[in-house]
Structure 1
């Protein structure tokens, strides 16, 4: 029984003491994670500070699904550009919004693995997409006068709409504003109390104003977290640009289904790395997230070196491509870390998370065009050197974030200690005053007796 509890603690985090909190955590996991994972699976912000998440996220998903249907009927590349522009707006809330919601419901020891599950759901969507593409090409290409890629967008749209409707019905907003029918009033209060018991946790709903802007610009958190994901996010370039598929197509000898399916090995390793690393960081007493980024960078540097050498067996190249899937482990960990760093300021946390994703997208808009153009296939020499440089830079920023977080904690501990000392001094002075007053009263009483 003790061994079973240890396994449960490692896999699912610190077990709540009371049955009521265990039931609450089960409901949170089911109704938040299920929708977030399905949403991310199907289509891969600040607006969540203004519009309730239970309205905004499902609405954006419906918009995304409708636009996906529209893509199946395009007749020019310009139409695709327009649709993708509006799809980008619709899906921009998904990633950041979910990490914001996860950070609003889960304690620090529960957050890493939930972020990992969410990230893995997107990777599973990618894995499923490769299998789906191969199946559609084999079975539907040319059916009813439509090519396989048009059928793919139709099927994707069909998958998306029911998930959005599920979100309207079940997604609970944040603990302080939730009106979810499956949470009793006692559970709603417990969801707030359990977070308040988490050290330095702010659960209030923040608002965007100038004082918040000044606070962000005057603190390292916004700069450090934004820079961390802006750089570390580019370690995913091998997977996000499907370089393995381009390599297979360029060297020849592979069928279309093989080109669709073989890169799934990278995705499978990405899922495994993400879940194992996220679970491990929650299980450690310190909740340290930085070791995952070190592991990720070692894997991407190793993979890049193998592919730079080039004159190695094909099996070694497959190993290198698959090993690069470890880069996705940093995604969940980085956002869990940012949620943890900014846990004491609800409004700032939302802005920092949005900023992290924004700056990564700013860089990602031009990064693949410069370092991973399709014309460089199959070797992508520039891209391999860029990956090594990105990994080394990630290690540097990771160290800086770790150092600044540690320094901030030390400074806060000193302030708390000084505050406690002042309180003790005040209490001591009060006791001295009380004793003095008591002696004076005693003397006065003795005087009256004589």
Structure 2
């Protein structure tokens, strides 16, 4: 057998082996099977967008959880918060977010994130330090409202930037990694509060819960400076700098052609109409609203642990109340990552199946929480239900990625829709707890758990509806393309070889 024959026989095997290796590389991390030049670009994108997105989101959700952690760690008694003051503080925070979200998100399409986002971070840090000096309920309302203005739109802005830089099959995993910091923040908050209560309570005359906000602000200071030097703009506006070369910017624009060369100018009436009349946007917003409602039941666990002390005095210490709730977030982290990897790889970018799975499982858990004793003899069952109550929250990366997929190529509409995801989440935060999850009803909130189950079902139905709408739209597009091809072919005269010219079709982008 000749060498050439051996080579020919081995080649299919080598191709098969390479394809298998490439598949596994892509399943583990999507840049590992890319050419070296593109792989280097993606690494730079990850080191900036991902790092700053994760750190910024982490510190925001650390602060959100710090208020709850502080409440069960001495703030309630020190500030005499025995009514629904926590609900009112949450409402003030949510209303301020709602007012400021769309202006901030749309402003991002016309400004450089390198300056805009750090400016918001500085204001946020100052207000965080101020929270350590609160002495009455009205201070909480005012400071939380001002904090919300500086915080507003951070996550949606980060996702907007990711949608401009990353391809569809890369997006869900990145959003999920940023999103899990919304779970890691509360975990860290509980551990941090336990440490502050045990180690800093009374130091310099300050309670442990006050030190929590001081530590929070100090962490935020450390992450502001690098953003000023390295935060990228969208590819269409990005200029060569200390991080990205002209060649890498060109690759980035070619990788994501719908977004890579589109510069948002003045907003047009046509765009504004698209914001209001695109049914996909409204369905995505409804999913976000439902998802936020479905995050409420898991917040009952610290109240539940604290309430056991009135039934059996000495059941749980402050440190235990803070620490025993953290596995909820750990479970959310694992499920979030599993969903993102599944969506980007096995499901080839489809988002709706995992939204349906997450909310369906959540509905069963919420119904069980609502229909079983609040303080059973065996605590393990309800304890487990709380730990598993974050399934719907874990699917939130799916509708964020779905929004970027659906509206790619129209920066302003994508920014508007992304901001709206947060707006409607805050609408849910501002309204639903006042009726279904009142502080004075915790930890029972039976009506709230039943209501959350209903919203979980609506979450599933809305995701299915949007999937069907887009499926029908793609079907109509395929029919229109086929009809266009047939019309063009009929209108073309045969060339000398008897074949019809297809130049017009190729120019029209059908082939």
Does the TM-score normalized on the shorter chain lie above 0.5?
yes
C-alpha change, 1:8 and 1:119, in structure 2 (3 Å) is same
Q: Distance in 2 between matches of 1:149 and 1:86?
A: 20
Q: In the aligned structure 2, how far is the partner of 1:193 from the partner of 1:202? A: 7
Residue 67 of structure 2 corresponds to: none
Q: Secondary structure at the match of 2:234?
A: coil
1:239-269 per-residue CA deviation (whole Å, 9 max, x = no partner) reads 4xx2100111112211111110111010000
User: Which residue of structure 1 lines up, in the alignment, with residue 269 of structure 2?
Assistant: 210
**Candidates 286, 296, 303, aligned match of 1:227:** 286
Query: Which residue of 1 is the match for residue 296 of structure 2?
Result: 237
Residue 105 of structure 1 corresponds to 165
Instruction: Pick one of 225, 245, 248 that aligns with 2:305.
Output: 248
* Structure 1 contact 292–329 (Cα < 8 Å) conserved: no
The within-5 A match list for 1:16-35 is 16-35=33-52
Q: Is the CA contact (8 Å cut-off) linking 2:301 and 2:325 kept in structure 1?
A: yes
Q: CA deviation at 1:347?
A: 2.0
Structure-2 change in CA distance of 1:231 and 1:275 (3 Å): same
TM-score (norm 2): 0.80
Look up the match of 2:371: 309
Contact 1:301 1:387 in 2 (8 A): yes
For the Cα contact (< 8 Å) 1:266–1:322, is it kept in 2?
yes
Partner of 1:444: none
1:127 is displaced (CA, Å) by 1.0
CA distance in 2 between counterparts of 1:287 and 1:256 reads: 44
Once the two structures are superposed, residues 344-389 of structure 1 have per-residue CA deviations (whole angstroms, 9 ceiling, x without a partner) of 3222111111112112211220111111112222321011101110
Q: Aligned residue for 2:404? A: 339
Q: Which of structure 1's runs of 4+ aligned residues deviate more than 4 A?
A: 1-5, 200-203
Task: Give the equivalent residue in structure 1 for 2:506.
Answer: none
1:291 aligned onto 2:353: yes
Output the CA distance in 2 between the equivalents of 1:414 and 1:156.
56
RMSD (Å), alpha carbons: 2.1
What TM-score do the two structures reach when normalised by structure 1?
0.90
- Unpaired runs of 5+ residues, structure 2, are 1-16, 62-104, 310-314, 500-511
The match for 2:13 is none
Residues 14 and 109, structure 1, Cα contact 8 Å, conserved in 2: no
C-alpha distance in structure 2 between counterparts of 1:213 and 1:24, whole Å = 34
Following superposition, the deviation at residue 98 of structure 1 comes to: 1.0
Show CA shifts across 1:164-205 (max 9, x none): 111111110111112342111000000000112xxx667513
Quote the residue 1:448 is aligned against. Answer: none
Give the secondary-structure state (helix, strand or coil) at the position aligned to 2:243. coil
Counterpart in the other structure of 1:263: 325
Candidates 87, 97, 116, aligned match of 1:56:
116
The alignment covers a number of residue pairs equal to: 429
Q: Counterparts of 1:319-358 in structure 2 under 5 Å?
A: 319-358=384-423
Contact 2:236–2:260 at 8 Å: present in 1 too? no
1:404 equivalenced with 2:469 (yes/no): yes
- 1:49-88 map, 5 Å: 49-88=109-148
Report the equivalent of 2:29. 12
Query: What secondary structure does 1:236 align onto?
Result: coil
CA distance in 2, matches of 1:278, 1:81: 36
Paired residue for 1:364, among 416, 429, 432? 429
Separation (CA, whole Å) in 2 of partners of 1:294 and 1:285:
14
Q: State the alpha-carbon separation in 1 of the partners of residues 232 and 494 from structure 2.
A: 49
The aligned residue for residue 203 of structure 2 is 143
The alignment status of 1:95 with 2:141, answered yes or no, reads no
1:429 to 1:285, Cα distance in 2 relative to 1, 3 A: farther
On the 8 A contact 2:49/2:231 being kept in 1, the answer is yes
